[in-house]
Structure 1
Amino acid sequence: SQFPNKNVLIIDAGTCITYDFINEKGCYLGGAISPGIKMRYQSLHQFTKKLPLLETKQPEGLIGGSTEECIHSGIVNGVINEIDSNIESYRKKNKDLTIVLTGGDVNFLSNRLKNGIFANPNFLLQGLNTILTYNL
């Protein structure tokens, strides 16, 4: 409802990172789901014998000099590159694409992504309110 007659890619970065595409006709065409940032940290800890469980942190560089720095670099840079790559792929196929970033990790990610996006942590709640208002 906020972007009528536009192609919209909604990226919800929370427990999982979901990509949902709605075309300019308002039709939901599907998307993709991948693990979120915290889930990636937890999986490295849980499914390996010795990697520590770390809190989310911006890596200081691309190449880590310690195990902890390598984990931060791999996870954070991996997520950023994944999101940027998905945005570019959608943009190649869809002109006038509007990108909305929402979810629990929106504040951590919004300034790190190179693509122009609308960062809105309350996008889902606003959408639910629109549905509620519509059904009254």
Structure 2
Amino acid sequence: MAVVLAIDIRNTQTQIGLVLDGVLVARWTVPTDSSETADGAIGVVLQFFEALERGLVRLEPAAPTRIDLPVEAPLSDGAIISSVIPMLTDVWTRAAQRLSKSRPLTVGPGLKTGLKMSLTDPAEAGADRVAEMVAAKTAYGAPCLVVDLGTSTTFQLLDDKGAFRGGIIAPGMELGAQALARGAAQLADVELRTPKSLLGRNTAEAMQAGIVMGEVARIDGLIDMIWNDCGYEAPVVLVGQHAESIAALLAHEATVDQTLALRGLMELYALNKK
């Protein structure tokens, strides 16, 4: 049984996927720690494996009903990493190398993607965005528009010819909430959830309406602008924090796919290990 780790490091969260014989069977999400060490990263993987053995991890639909990891676990046959935080790339690379039998692959220049890039400088494309585009092309075909809700809200378009055409990067909801709390003396942090009504009856509700419904309006508006710019419509896929709640509020139909990046990493690993 081939055991591969797919590791997706974002500004806010780090997600680890367990891939058995080319199938994503489970995932583990932890807060991203900018002060993480290789020893600490190994500990995160060990916690993931222990929780899996105790039945505390929800398995993916394609997973077998029972997962028996190799006796020598947590050793894996390999790993692939996408990271948007350069100083953590090396940390997790060293950790993954100690956990596996070979040096892990890292998404970046030199890695084959099988993806056409209509970008001024393809090297600037974030590793997470590349992984999502690879998986989106396989799962949804072309064209396809992926909206990723994280520290930033990003839009990336796979055009009708199957090329990564470009995208939009905007501040995410969490950043918006933090900016309000820091910049306005009388406004405090609020929980980001769907407001009870569009017009808040108190400060917290008004902030929730502005941040959450403002994000919904921005996404709906930018989808229309992107469609108008490229001259055709495309399926919309939402990923990231609050994707489920935002998708339910959009005027546009959208599919939520929280394993998109990990499946993209899985495909990139298979492509580069041939």
TM-score (norm 2): 0.47
The 3-state SS of whatever aligns with 2:156 is: strand
Query: Is the deviation greater in 43-52 or in 75-84?
Result: 43-52
The 3-state SS of whatever aligns with 1:2 is: helix
1:96 positional shift:
4.3
Query: Is the deviation greater in 123-132 or in 92-101?
Result: 92-101
Contact kept, 8 Å, 1:10 with 1:19, in 2: the verdict is yes
Match of 2:153 in 1: 17
Match of 1:106 in 2: 243
Of 179, 182, 190, the match for 1:54: 190
Match of 1:124 in 2: 261
Distance 1:120 1:34 in 2: 20
Matching residue's letter, 2:204: E
Gaps of 5+ in 1: none
Distance 2:215 2:161 in 1: 30
Distance 2:258 2:194 in 1: 20
Of 143, 165, 176, the match for 1:40: 176
The 3-state SS of whatever aligns with 1:45 is: helix
Query: Is the deviation greater in 45-54 or in 71-80?
Result: 45-54
Matching residue's letter, 1:32: I
Across the two proteins, how many residue pairs are aligned to each other? Answer: 135
Query: Is the deviation greater in 8-17 or in 101-110?
Result: 101-110
Match of 2:270 in 1: 133
Gaps of 5+ in 2: 1-137
Identity, % of aligned positions = 27
TM-score (norm 1): 0.91
Of 212, 217, 240, the match for 1:81: 217
